[in-house]
Amino acid sequence: MKKIIYLLLVVFLASCKKEDKIIPTLSFIVPTRAVGDPEFTIRAPQSNSDGSFSYSSSNAAVATVSGTTIRIAGVGTTTIKAVQSASRNYGAAEIETTFTVVPTGTLVAGQFYAGGIIVHLLTVSGVQRGYIVSEDDISTSAPWTPGSLDATTATGTAIGTGAANTAKIIATFGDGSYAAKLCTDYRGGGYTDWFLPSSLELSLLGTRKSVIGNIAETVYWSSSEVSTNIGNANYVFMGPAAASSVTGFSKTYRYKVRAFRYF
């Protein structure tokens, strides 16, 4: 009898033992802003847990946090800490990122500006211009074509050809729910000039992952049709770190989509 009682006690204690929690994998970036920008909602860290987040700022002279809202106070840097609560099989976790506030009129890669995040800057006739990417994916699963495999002549791959490619694609296919049309229908920041980037424009994301954030290590559609095989278009795989690779694949496959605009 004593042996039975002992075994039952062991089973009971084992069932009461606190399970080890999985540590969530977190990724967190707060894009640069400028003095004078309005308050904004923090883009939650990427996490494989659904636990809620709380936030704090280390330097109130630069920015303060109230709930999920950041209010800009001055030029400089501050550390934004995100603390995620435990949820189901996942334990609590935290992550920090540096938030930078630049002077009014300053533009840098990774800055939230004109409806999205600056991914590339250049000077044209003495004027600073650049490319902006949507803050998040505008689709997580979209085909390149609404169904037809007709040639579009949207074969530009260089930086500067994405907008023209997009116009050719839409002139060929018209309405529908496909990558290029989703980009032109996008209205981030109230702007109407968004387009599906060319393969080299999209590859710029790979070099800016550390300041843009929320870029999955997976495949994104470009607007570049493969000239030697009209049934294929180029996608860009966003690899780890700054790596990316361009590959042609069937237009009917569904991949992620990010919209670009030029300013």
What does the alpha-carbon distance between residue 183 and residue 57 come to, in Å, rounded to a whole number? 34
Tens-digit pLDDT string for the chain (263 aa) = 555 544 444 444 444 445 689 999 999 999 999 999 999 999 999 999 999 999 999 999 999 999 999 999 999 999 999 999 999 999 999 999 999 999 999 999 999 999 999 999 999 999 999 999 999 999 999 999 999 999 999 999 999 999 999 999 999 999 999 999 999 999 999 999 999 999 999 999 888 888 998 898 899 999 999 988 889 999 998 877 655 678 889 999 999 999 999 99
Residue 89 is given by DSSP the state: T
Of the candidates 54, 37, 45, the one whose C-alpha atom is nearest the C-alpha of residue 101 is 37
Query: Phi and psi of 84, rounded to 5°?
Result: -105, 130
Q: CATH 2.60.40.10 occupies which residues in the chain? A: 26-104
pLDDT of residue 10: 45
Residue 109 near residue 120, CB atoms below 8 Å: yes
Distance CA 202, CA 238 (A): 9
pTM: 0.87
What is the SS3 assignment for 235? strand
pLDDT tens digit sequence for 8-64: 444 444 444 456 899 999 999 999 999 999 999 999 999 999 999 999 999 999 999
Is the separation of the CB atoms in 112 and 37 below 8 Å?
Answer: yes
Contact present, 137 and 258 (Cβ < 8 Å):
yes
Options 3.90.79.10, 2.60.40.10, 3.40.50.720, 3.40.30.10; which CATH number does 26-104 get? 2.60.40.10
SS3 label, residue 43: coil
Using CA atoms, how far residue 170 sits from 111, 183, 231, 254, 257, in Å, is 30, 11, 16, 18, 16
Phi and psi, residue 193, nearest 5°: -110, 30
- Average pLDDT over the chain reads 91
Tokens of 260: 């670009």
- Would you state the pLDDT for residue 213? 87
Q: What is the DSSP string of 105-173?
A: T---TTBEETTEEEEEEEEETTEEEEEEE-SS-SEEEEESSSS----------STT-HHHHHHHHHHHH
DSSP secondary structure code for residue 180 in this structure: H
What pLDDT score was predicted for residue 155? 96
